[in-house]
Amino acid sequence: MSNQRQRLIHLHLCKELSWKELNRILTYDQQLSSIYDYSTSDWQQIFHLTPRKAQLLFHHLHSSRFIDFSSYFQSQQIHVMTVFDSDYPMLLKQIFDPPFVLYGLGNLKVLKTEQRLAVIGTRYPSQAGMEAVKMLIPPVAQNGWTIVSGMAKGIDSMAHWQTLHANGQTIAVLGSGFNYIYPKENKKLFSKLSQENLLLSEYPPTTPPQKWHFPARNRIISGLTQAVLVIEAKEKSGSLITADQALEHGRDVFAVPGSIYTEQSRGTNYLIQQGAKLITHADDILIELKG
């Protein structure tokens, strides 16, 4: 393991550091060769950290040993990828703010193909929304496309389960560390994915879910994939934020239309008005992806 990689992971494990702050450190010292030499005042003056954060970071770097974290990851079969590694997903590396470190649990071979489709939607789907998942996802998964979602209840969870039932490959991107299964009702799905497929998170294992983690998580879902399929979403929802991020990343956006009387369809109908590809059949998706 290179010293640069090791130091990046050690820094990343300080949960108080934001992506912007870590980016600032890497911009100043890409090799991270001096991180153990900086004093708390250096962290404040050079990197503009608050006194509290500078103290926490200094304490973290000097009171914890990287080798202990490494042993823990090995014991828990957690794979750690940094943005400098050859196995880091190439599509994700291309976005503006890729996670500097990714933690993986399960089968890393799932990442070998870049044929990945994000499937997202409301946590409270209608019967029509649930039927749409059952109709659309298995054929796409059986055609070799890895289904990426966020393991939230509703559309996300159904997309994972339908992929598993079709013997396809699926990746769940979490808004928490692996020690916190969220929502708790997905304990069985978490276990299943960790055995046969893949769970990913940019958060160290001991990080509990926080409200702001989920919008950040969504950029990874769209960044990993070639296109995003939205199956039911309200007018103001995380799914629409993900669709916007997908467009920023240069990805295609697909949406399933719904009734004008259904709240869960207002977001998807709006996306179609804005130019998203209207999806009524799995072949609609496959033709676009192959094109």
Structural domain boundaries in the chain: 3-75, 108-290
Burial (Cβ within 10 Å: 0-12, 13-18, ≥19) of residue 216:
middle
Choosing among 3.40.50.720, 3.40.50.10440, 3.40.50.450, 3.40.50.300, the CATH entry for 108-290 is 3.40.50.450
Q: In angstroms, rounded to a whole number, what is the distance separating the alpha carbons of residues 271 and 255?
A: 7
Q: Report the percentage of the chain scoring pLDDT > 90.
A: 94
pLDDT band at 100 (very low <50, low <70, confident <90, very high): very high
User: For the residues 95-105, what does the mean pLDDT come to?
Assistant: 97
> pTM of the predicted model, to two decimals?
0.95
Peptide bond into 183 cis (omega under 30): yes
**How confident is the model at residue 70, as a pLDDT?**
94
Structure tokens at 141: 């998964």
Average pLDDT score, the chain: 95
**pLDDT greater than 60 at residue 135:** yes
Q: In angstroms, rounded to a whole number, what is the distance separating the alpha carbons of residues 65 and 170?
A: 34
Q: In angstroms, rounded to a whole number, what is the distance separating the alpha carbons of residues 20 and 134?
A: 40
pLDDT band at 47 (very low <50, low <70, confident <90, very high): very high
